[in-house]
Amino acid sequence: MEKEKENENEKRENERLKKDALEIFRSAIRGVDSHRCVSRNIKLRGSSLFVSGIEYDLTTYENIYVIGFGKASARMARAIEDVLGELITDGIVVVKYGYSEPLRYLKLREGGHPVPDEGGLRATLDIESLLKKTGENDLIIVLISGGGSSLLCLPRSGITLDDKIKTTKALLKSGATIHEINTIRKHMSKVKGGGLAKMAYPSDVLSLIISDVVGDNLDVIASGPLVADSTTFSDCMRIIEKYGLDLPLSVIELFKAGIEGKEEETVKPKDEALKKVRNVVVGNNRLALESAQKRASELGYNTLILTTYLVGESREVAKVMSAIAREEVFKKEPIKLPVCILAGGETTVTI
């Protein structure tokens, strides 16, 4: 009878822990809700737009255009529409299939993720056409979130969409890091690696970013369409050799031509177009973890954010996390029970 009572108590306790864990996880997601991330960072007061304390006098602009790409860009766009409304001249947002939101002033397109497709290519061509209409007296607001590398898709001359699809699939299966994957993506693209900044020049560009990248490296998020790229064609070849990648011949030839100086490199720090761009990170891993930590504290747990830089092969990272849990159970360290230890990052699965 006593054993049955112990089992019942243990069962109830496990159910409580599961319920709390789910609530804490949901709090992390709410903390980086894309609509909230934009709304809390952008305010309109009279004719002035304030973004994280930076003022834009909208009377100095003839037009305001909005473009977006990424899984969260539709909800980000709704937040922009809520603030600017009819002040928006035109715009295009491309999201993953099934991630649409009702928009009033912006055109919505859908495309493939994580593998690019014809939908993303057509949407990016529409964005390119839109940017050809913009001038130095215009403001372009760019909404960037995770998945942008696939959804903003415009291969360089000589690279077909099929080449890009085959390369993306090979990279995703290889075990390469997101930094390595995006290095190759940038050098195959007209818009990544600062290419979009050159297309938008000479307009002022305000970029609002929800980061899904460890460390919030702007040249990695969505393959850095609006920032200088620190990588080179030579880096691409080293990655190919490192993982023994079997990529289309056209891609290999492009990279070799780039090393020989026959293909233009990605945008580098001194490029004039970058002076017109301001990038603002409105949501990231740290924000999600802080929201989770707050909820865990409210539920009565002692909390610890272990890291926002959790990387490595998933099966190996799991062993480390299990070891930390055992340390808590048996040694009550590194923090007193009841405890909620939080970690964020991006682990890798090699297929």
For residue 277, the domain's CATH number is: 3.40.50.10180
Tens-level pLDDT at each residue, the chain (351 residues):
677 777 788 889 899 999 999 999 999 999 999 999 999 999 999 999 999 889 999 999 999 999 999 999 999 999 999 999 999 999 999 999 999 999 999 999 999 999 999 999 999 999 999 999 999 999 999 999 999 999 999 999 999 999 999 999 999 899 898 889 999 999 999 999 999 999 999 999 999 999 988 889 899 899 999 999 999 999 999 999 999 999 999 999 999 999 999 999 999 999 999 999 999 999 999 999 999 999 999 999 999 999 999 999 999 999 999 999 999 989 888 888 999 999 999 888 877
Pairwise CA distance, residues 341 & 281, whole Å: 25
**Nearest 5°: phi and psi at 348?**
-120, 140
The verdict on 212 and 336 lying in the same domain is no
pTM: 0.89
The verdict on 57 and 198 lying in the same domain is yes
Number of compact structural domains in the chain: 2
The verdict on 61 and 101 lying in the same domain is yes
Parent domain of 44: 38-154+189-231+266-283
- E strand or H helix that includes residue 128: helix 118-131
The answer to whether residue 170 sits within a structural domain is: no
For residue 15, the domain's CATH number is: 3.40.1480.10
The verdict on 82 and 197 lying in the same domain is yes
Residue among 277, 278, 276, 254 nearest 266 (CA):
254
Which DSSP string corresponds to 34-101?
HHHHHHTTEEEETTEEEETTEEEEGGG-SEEEEEEESTTHHHHHHHHHHHHGGG--EEEEEEETT---
The verdict on 296 and 149 lying in the same domain is no
